[in-house]
């Protein structure tokens, strides 16, 4: 969106050739206390709503490439 090249980084073992698209990828929701606590100390109200996904899905149209242990994978043209 801002004309800055975006590269993801992932081990090749995370690629699933049978996955149709990003909508089919389940995203783990991590524990809220990973956000509410820092160094074991509460830094936000205990009842604060938290959205803490383990990762997100970047639209393929924004990817310049994906860096793996085998080199850079460029998007299909």
pLDDT in tens, 19-47: 988 889 999 999 999 999 999 999 999 99
Asked if residue 65 lies in contact with residue 75, where contact means CB atoms within 8 angstroms, the answer is yes
Question: What is the per-residue pLDDT for 75?
Answer: 81
With pLDDT > 70 as the criterion, what percentage of the chain qualifies? 99
- Name which of 54, 74, 77, 76 is nearest 65 in CA terms: 74
With pLDDT > 90 as the criterion, what percentage of the chain qualifies? 68
User: Within 10 A of 66 (CB to CB), how many other CB atoms are there?
Assistant: 20
Asked if residue 6 lies in contact with residue 57, where contact means CB atoms within 8 angstroms, the answer is no
Backbone angles phi, psi at 49, to 5 degrees: -70, 140
What contacts 19, CB < 8 A, 6 or more positions away? Answer: 25
Its pTM stands at 0.66
């Amino acid at each position: 969106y801002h004309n800055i090249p975006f590269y993801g980084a992932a081990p090749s073992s995370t690629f699933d050739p049978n996955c149709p698209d990003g909508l089919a990828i389940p995203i783990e929701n991590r524990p809220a206390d990973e956000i509410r606590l820092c160094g074991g100390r509460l830094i936000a109200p205990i009842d604060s709503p938290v959205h803490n996904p383990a990762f997100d899905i970047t639209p393929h149209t924004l990817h310049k490439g994906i860096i793996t242990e085998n080199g850079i994978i460029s998007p299909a043209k």
